[in-house]
């Protein structure tokens, strides 16, 4: 399953997972971060997944499985385990509401108190958990999982193999209000939708606003954490990842393979180039036009330059002391020169 090579007792049996620093006999664990290497020699785990290049400095009793990437291999096993643990029955629980015009695929699970509106399409193998709302003309693709309490508004499209966690809202109105001469605000109707492409995961309590006109687009393979705000007409590129509590303002285009840290704020109508890395709590106020650029700070700027600035800032007290010493030295030299003159 993970393409590994066994080193030790090939008959070793395990029944559960454990962290390497806590695992006991009969448990499977992994080592990917060198910071935890010390536990490799003291853990009671029976089976440990390690990188192929891992060198042993001491003898160990556990059986090893050597793989190209221990973290990815462990994730594969966790995914398989989760699939077994979370298998849902096929069928429709009651009470639930399914409009007569809705089209429900084969092998679908629909939990109690779900609402499936007019002309909704639910693809084969999809899982719709209790309390989900699917508005009219919305689509949920094949083998997607919509967890409890998710609200998907009218006309929104969710692709295949998508996971949306509890409490998320897909397709709420974008924040559009036109200021009026009398100081009030007139609501701008939001008539677009949200399109979530295949193999996307969206965390709990994340909100993705519908486009004012056109679509807010989450492209294939993107991974969104909990508690995000994605505004109207934003585009998030293929395989980009965004950590919790980040916010992206309207019409900003995030490229492919971008990494955005927690609590990042990005203003509207910007372009974020492919491969950009934005450090946690950064505030991005200008477009990032060069691919694979790393930025940090508020306002965000080049990551390496920021680290140099921080290093210099830590030395400011010492530099101030040296400047004062130089000033005293210059003053003394000047006084000596005046006396000799």
Show which residues are catalytic: 232
**Alpha carbon 69 to chain centroid, angstroms:** 20
Q: Strand pairing partners for 215?
A: 193
Do the bridges between strand 5-7 and strand 63-67 make them parallel or antiparallel, or are there none, so unpaired?
antiparallel
Q: Which two tokens stand for residue 320?
A: 């101030």
Do the bridges between strand 265-266 and strand 283-284 make them parallel or antiparallel, or are there none, so unpaired?
parallel
User: Rounded to an integer, what distance in angstroms lies between the CA atom of residue 46 and that of residue 76?
Assistant: 19
* Max intra-chain CA distance, the chain: 106
User: Rounded to an integer, what distance in angstroms lies between the CA atom of residue 182 and that of residue 58?
Assistant: 77
**Alpha carbon 258 to chain centroid, angstroms:** 10
Cβ(113)–Cβ(95) below 8 Å: yes
């Amino acid at each position: 399953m993970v393409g590994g090579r066994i080193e030790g007792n090939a008959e070793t049996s395990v029944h559960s997972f454990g962290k390497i620093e806590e695992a006991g006999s009969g448990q499977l664990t992994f080592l990917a971060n060198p910071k935890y290497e010390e536990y490799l020699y003291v853990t009671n785990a029976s089976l440990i997944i390690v990188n192929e290049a891992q060198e042993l400095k001491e003898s160990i009793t556990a059986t090893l499985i050597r793989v190209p990437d221990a973290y990815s291999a462990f994730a594969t096993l966790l995914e398989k385990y989760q699939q077994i643990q979370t298998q849902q029955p096929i069928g429709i629980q009651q009470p639930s509401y399914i409009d007569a015009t809705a089209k429900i695929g084969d092998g679908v699970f629909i939990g109690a108190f779900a609402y499936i509106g007019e002309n909704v399409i639910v693809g084969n193998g999809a899982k719709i958990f209790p309390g989900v709302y699917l508005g009219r003309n919305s689509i949920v693709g094949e083998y997607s999982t919509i967890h409890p309490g998710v609200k998907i508004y009218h006309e929104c499209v969710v692709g295949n193999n998508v996971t949306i966690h509890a409490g998320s809202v897909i397709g709420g109105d974008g924040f559009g209000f036109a200021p009026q001469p009398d100081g009030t605000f007139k609501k701008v109707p939001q008539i677009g939708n949200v399109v979530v492409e295949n193999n996307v995961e969206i965390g709990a309590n994340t909100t993705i606003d519908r486009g004012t006109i056109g679509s807010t687009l989450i492209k294939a393979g993107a991974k969104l954490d909990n508690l995000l705000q994605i505004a109207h007409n934003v585009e998030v590129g293929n395989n980009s990842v965004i950590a919790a509590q980040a916010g992206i303002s309207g019409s900003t285009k995030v490229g492919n393979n971008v990494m955005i840290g927690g609590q990042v704020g990005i203003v509207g109508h910007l372009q974020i180039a492919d491969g950009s890395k934005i450090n946690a709590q950064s505030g991005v106020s200008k477009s990032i036009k060069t691919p694979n650029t790393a930025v940090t700070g508020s306002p965000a700027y080049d990551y390496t330059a920021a680290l140099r600035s921080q290093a210099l800032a830590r030395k400011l007290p010492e530099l101030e002391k040296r400047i004062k010493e130089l000033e005293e030295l210059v003053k003394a030299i000047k006084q000596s020169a005046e006396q000799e003159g």
